[in-house]
């Protein structure tokens, strides 16, 4: 794939030098012409419900910039644009230059009237599973801190710090671990390899 100059539709993000957003119609044109690798950085349960045809799965929680294609145009998308901006920043930090993120994510894609593929019905999302696990542990540690030993408050603090880390970086270790659990096998099956482009 030959690297091409950025189109007039793309704009440099004010938050970080080199970050460029591109609108859905331009990404669709690139996809149709085979002029870009488009990576979906949402978690696999999100992708299982709804996806953009022709994109590849590369969840941000497990994204390794070193395995991305070394040439050609890269576009990242998520739900609304936050995680894809982070993924694009990682690709830029890894030395890539022809990097974009989809303005508005898959929501912007739908708002532009472009088609999405509907997938399997997933009864409970990975992030809801994370909330259930973390909430249960924090509640248990809090009760044990009051009834058994104050040292149990350390467990609640640990998981609280984990949530802060996940919120600020977009990487959730608990989501990655839960994604490997047997009951989430169907979600793993719908993830395409990063190296497929």
* pLDDT tens readout for residues 25-50: 999 999 999 999 999 999 887 888 88
Q: In the prediction, which pLDDT does 137 show?
A: 92
SS3 77: strand
DSSP-H helix ranges across 11-81:
24-33, 44-49
Q: In the prediction, which pLDDT does 172 show?
A: 80
In terms of pLDDT, which residue wins out, 144 or 62?
144
Cα separation, 107 vs 191, whole angstroms: 20
Kindly state the average pLDDT of the residues 54-71. Answer: 85
Record the tokens describing residue 3, joined without a space: 């690297």
Q: In the prediction, which pLDDT does 17 show?
A: 56
In terms of pLDDT, which residue wins out, 197 or 173?
173
Q: In the prediction, which pLDDT does 127 show?
A: 79
pLDDT tens string 127-182: 788 889 999 999 999 999 999 999 999 999 999 898 888 877 767 888 878 877 87
pTM of the model: 0.64
Q: Name the residue ranges covered by the structural domains of the chain.
A: 11-121, 126-187
In terms of pLDDT, which residue wins out, 194 or 180?
180
- Region of 54 (left: φ > 0; alpha: ψ -120 to 50; beta: rest) is left
Cα separation, 170 vs 166, whole angstroms: 5
Residue 5 pLDDT > 80: no
- Ranked by mean pLDDT, the top range of 7-21, 60-74, 82-96, 176-190 is 82-96
11-121 CATH, one of 3.40.250.10, 2.40.30.10, 3.40.718.10, 3.20.20.70: 3.40.250.10
Tell me the pLDDT band of 8, cut-offs 50, 70 and 90: very low
CA-CA-CA-CA dihedral for 179, 183, 187, 190, to nearest 10: 120
pLDDT tens string 82-128: 899 999 999 998 888 899 999 999 999 999 999 998 876 666 777 78
SS3 42: coil
Residue 195 pLDDT > 80: no
Tell me which residue of 11, 170, 174, 6 sits closest to 79, measured CA to CA: 170
Active site residue 190: no
- Out of 37, 78, 141, 172, the active site residue is 78
Mark 12-45 as b/e (b = at least 16 C-beta within 10 Å). ebeeeeebbbbbbebbbebbeeebbbbbbbbbbb
């Amino acid at each position: 794939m030959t690297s091409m100059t950025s189109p007039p539709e793309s704009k440099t993000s004010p938050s970080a030098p080199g970050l460029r957003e591109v609108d859905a119609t331009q990404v669709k044109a690139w996809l149709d012409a085979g002029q870009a690798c488009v990576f979906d950085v949402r978690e696999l349960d999100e992708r299982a419900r709804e996806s953009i045809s022709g994109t590849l799965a590369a969840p941000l929680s497990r994204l390794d910039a070193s395995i991305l294609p070394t040439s050609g145009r890269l576009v990242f998308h998520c739900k609304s644009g936050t995680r894809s901006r982070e993924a694009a920043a990682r690709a830029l930090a890894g030395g890539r230059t022809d990097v974009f993120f989809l303005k508005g994510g898959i929501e912007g894609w739908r708002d532009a009237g472009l088609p999405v593929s509907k997938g399997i019905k997933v009864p409970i999302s990975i992030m809801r599973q994370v909330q259930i696990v973390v909430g249960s542990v924090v509640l248990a540690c809090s009760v044990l801190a009051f009834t058994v030993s104050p040292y149990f408050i350390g467990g609640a603090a640990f998981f609280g710090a984990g949530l802060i880390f996940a919120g600020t970086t977009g990487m959730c270790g608990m989501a990655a671990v839960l994604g490997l659990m047997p009951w989430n096998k169907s979600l793993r099956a719908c993830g395409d390899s990063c190296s497929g482009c």
